[in-house]
A and B are shown apart, each in its own frame.
Chain A
Amino acid sequence: MSWHRLLAGSTKYAVLIAFAAFYLVPFYVMILTGLKPLEDISSFEIWNMPKSLDFGSFREAWNQMDTNFWNSVRITIPGAIVSTFLGSLNGYVFAKWGFRGSNWILFLFVFGMFLPGQGILIPLVWVLQFMGLYGKVNGLIMAYCIFGIPITSLLFYRYYASVPDELVDASKIDGCGFFGIYRRIILPLSGPTFAVVGVWQCTRIWNEYLMALVVLGNPARAPVTVAIKNFSSMGVIPWNLQMAAALIASVPTIAVYLLLGKLFMRGLLEGSLSG
């Protein structure tokens, strides 16, 4: 191996390691700062190790945001389940029962998904108020279910389109109807796709901020993303609490990502239409 090959090889690793550091530094600093008590927090000591392991900031942050954490759980789980299930049914219709104009409908679904959320916020608040759901957890769940329809339908459509039509036709000949085929052919094949879409929706809903802030701004009812914002707008910024809160809020999605990274990756590729 010639020396410039060696150099090229080590440059590659040097660049990769430098970027790994770039991506990890914010997590590192969050952990470091979260482990310090308030009196040890100074921006000049941001890089210093904590003097001792002190979980006080985490405990304090948790005490202030545990309601918000459970709110997020209460919002994310039904939101993800309903939107995933709807997506499965819709994707089945789009892929196997396409009718005249159904391609256009799918196109309009996906188009809406790429447009900025600000475009629908004012009517959303107005309609939720009208329905008595404004400021309520159920209102936000409903919004997430509806705004999840495009992405979940698209993900399932792309998967079901790859299921051979012959399978569906064969069970039609066997006398299965719309729901029979869904139950006997489509659902048994959908396990992995349910997992991909479920993981994707859980992560997106858990991390969503704009709609949560507008619909559930009330600190007691807000989900974690809004709670972090509330920590950061206190008069004197308690950096230790803020970092602890941001970490606590990230634990579920990071855990899901680390454990189910493959599913996460598939959702990412399919959802951006480049899988």
Chain B
Amino acid sequence: MHSDLSARAKSLPALLPKWLRDDRKIAILVLAPSIIAVAVFIYIFMGWTLYISVSNWDRPALDLSFAGLKNWKRLVNDPRFHIDLRNLVLFAVGYMSQCIVIGFLLAALLNERIRGEVFFRTVFLMPFAVSAVVSGTAWRWLQVPSAGINLLIANMGFENFRPLWYMHPKLGMLAITIMGAWQFSGFVMALYLAGLRAIPDELREAAVIDGAGTIALYRHVFIPMLRPVTFTAIVLTGAGSIGNFEIPSIIGTGPGFATDTLGFYMFEQTFRSSRYGLGAAVATFMLVLSIPLVLPYLISVLREERE
């Protein structure tokens, strides 16, 4: 013990003040800038956003006087907000189900000792490597109602089936879910594939010996065991649905705000119309929506890791 202390004293410059010679304190000191940065730039900023939402700041010049619920009342009465809420539900349903169903299906297929697995896996995940802006740009071109995919559909003989895709005044949002799922379903596939690969072979063999067919195997063994992966996928796609911003920013908000989102509405109110208070109310609303989605997930993951 004695030699330990003297050796340590040598390894540290004797010039350092005494309180800095304690490694535990150095550790806290190293972490401190990050703690401060995250505390300020994430948590204080969120609190600040909440405050701006009850301030009078609705023009370019800063005005932080208290306004009560004025912005919130305006938000709740804004028809565009109502459309955006409906759009969020449409998007979340379409996007989450596509990502999870396709992701699971592809992972299950790839887990079947497929020839060319690396090729398929690489292709499925490739859209995730590009920006959402690229997805919006390419799909906008593919979904031009007068041509694009509709040409392919017509060539297949369904000339009367001409969906308006993202231009549809009611269901445009569903067309946008395809752009989102194109990017993220491969990610979900990767999560499920890793989950499937982590299931021990003995379990599968035991179930097969017990006479389980493929469907029973998935229903009673794999799907229950993959529940944590499904939880992850739900949280990630759910958070993605709430934060959705890139695609409407590229393809526009469509007829009657059919493809508008909360994220884009917030952006326009704040940075195009200088209605900071209203924008902050939308942002706060988005935060409040996210918390019940993310919090239970993180708590369960941490609890598991501690065990």
Chain A residues near B (Cβ < 8 Å) = 12-13, 15-16, 19-20, 22-27, 29-30, 33, 42-44, 46-47, 86, 89-90, 93-94, 97, 99, 102-103, 105, 107-112, 114-127, 143, 146-147, 149-150, 153, 172-180, 203, 206-210, 213-214, 224-225, 228-229, 231-232, 239, 242-243, 245-246, 249-250, 253-254, 256-258, 261, 264-265, 268-269, 272-275
Contact = CB atoms under 8 A, between A and B. Distances in A.
A175 B4 CA distance: 6
Given A118-B283, A265-B190, A269-B190, 14 more contacts: A19-B102, A24-B123, A43-B147, A112-B42, A115-B239, A115-B291, A123-B45, A149-B37, A209-B131, A209-B246, A232-B137, A249-B130, A257-B125, A265-B125
Interface stretch (B73-81, B89-97, B158-166, B266-274): B266-274
Q: Bin the interface of chain B by size.
A: 35 or more
Interface in B119-134: 119-120, 122-134
A22 to B, nearest CB: 7
A23 B210 CA distance: 38
Contacts, number: 288
Given A178-B26, A250-B131, A272 B250 contact: no
Q: Which 3 A-B pairs have the closest CB atoms?
A: A175-B7, A97-B27, A43-B147
B114 interface: yes
A114 B131 contact: no
A274 B246 contact: no
Nearest to B150: A43
Interface string B7-50: 11011100000000001101110110011011001111110110
B287 interface: yes
A37 B280 CA distance: 44
Contact of B298 (A20, A107, A123): A107
B171 interface: no
B42 A120 contact: yes
A232 B263 CA distance: 19
A120 B141 contact: no
Given A29-B141, A90-B34, A209-B131, A257 B126 contact: yes
A93 B27 contact: yes
Interface in B88-110: 102, 105-106, 109-110
Most buried by B among A13, A118, A245: A118
Nearest to A204: B131
Contact of B283 (A12, A102, A107, A119): A119
A235 to B, nearest CB: 14
B144 to A, nearest CB: 5
B131 A225 contact: yes
10 contacts: A16-B114, A43-B148, A44-B151, A102-B31, A120-B42, A124-B45, A231-B137, A246-B137, A268-B191, A274-B195
B286 interface: yes
A275 B133 contact: no
B133 A228 contact: yes
B203 interface: no
A166 B224 CA distance: 37
A249 B131 CA distance: 9
Interface string B255-276: 0000000110011001100001
A4 B194 CA distance: 29
A97 B26 CA distance: 10
Given A121-B283, A256-B129, A264-B129, A86 B34 contact: yes
Contact of A26 (B52, B119, B182, B235): B182
A90 B28 CA distance: 9
Contacts of A25: 142
Contacts of B142: 25-26, 29, 46
